[in-house]
Amino acid sequence: MGAAGLIEIKRRMKSVQSTKKITNAMGLVATSKLRRCRMELSANEEYMKAAEQIVRSLASAESDFVSPYFSGNNSEKKLYIVMTSDQGLCGGYNNNVVTFLENLVENDMNNTRVITVGSKGIGYVKRAGFETVSEYVDIPDIPTAKEVKVICEKALSLYNSKEVSEVHIVYTEFQSSVKQEVKDELLLPVKKLEGTSVDQIVEPDYETVLTDSLEVYLKGKLRRLMLSSKCSEQSSRMTAMDGATSNANDILENLNLKYNRIRQSIITQEITEIVSGAEAQN
């Protein structure tokens, strides 16, 4: 391999260097987004503690009150809200979520209804044989009340119309930057919260306040799980991009070594030809 081989190697090295710059930049962006998402998740945890405390207090005030959010209904179908990403390059994040869903409902697929959150999950879910009820895409890195409200109201509509008896959320729980776990969280029916009854004035009436409080609590819980999924997504992307950058460095090192060997071989050959030509003239 001569000069032509050197040109080809230099072209490959330039291509790998360009890819490395992209993966390195994406890794830095994912790190920044993860930091912001973790801060929002931490703040949301405090909100959920306060919301849960209020619901506990209200739920324990009148034990005879019957709410469909607690008692459920007789439908045989179950709804699964599947949290996936809107962007790729995040390792096995989306595949892990859909594989978990497949294993979870493998014996009851006919009674399974699916809502996908994130564009990348749509293809995975359909290839797995599920029909989607609704699909929500372009979810911000920090989900707002707007997105949460639309998704939650759709789930509540299916539940209140008795089309489904349970609403589950399949998401990736963020435990740390190096550990995320796919889980199934039951959103509805709500397990009745037992708390200590306190003296309180409820206006306009107990049923309205408890129902509204439950809906606020459910939306808050949905947003917390969405934030946890977003944190897991960015962590997975950060890990994937770090791995890709490391692989690019390895490829560049090998190409550089190969380049130097060929170049050395060419120089050695040229020196040999010069020496041979000089000896031939003597």
Residue numbers of the chain with a pLDDT score lower than 70: 1-4, 59-65, 192-203, 205-206, 278, 281-282
User: In this predicted structure, what is the pLDDT of residue 15?
Assistant: 93
**Ranges assigned E (strand) in 70-162:** 78-83, 112-117, 132-136
User: In this predicted structure, what is the pLDDT of residue 198?
Assistant: 56
Query: Whole-number mean pLDDT of the chain?
Result: 86
Indicate the domain borders of the chain.
3-26+239-275, 44-237
Superfamily of domain 44-237: ATP synthase, F1 complex, gamma subunit (3.40.1380.10)
Specify whether domain 3-26+239-275 bears CATH 1.10.287.80: yes
What b-and-e string marks burial along 194-217, b requiring 16 or more CB atoms within 10 Å of the CB? eeeeeeeeeeeeeeebbbebbeeb
pLDDT digits over 226-271, tens only? 999 999 999 999 999 999 999 999 999 999 898 888 888 877 777 7
pTM summary value: 0.84
User: In this predicted structure, what is the pLDDT of residue 200?
Assistant: 63
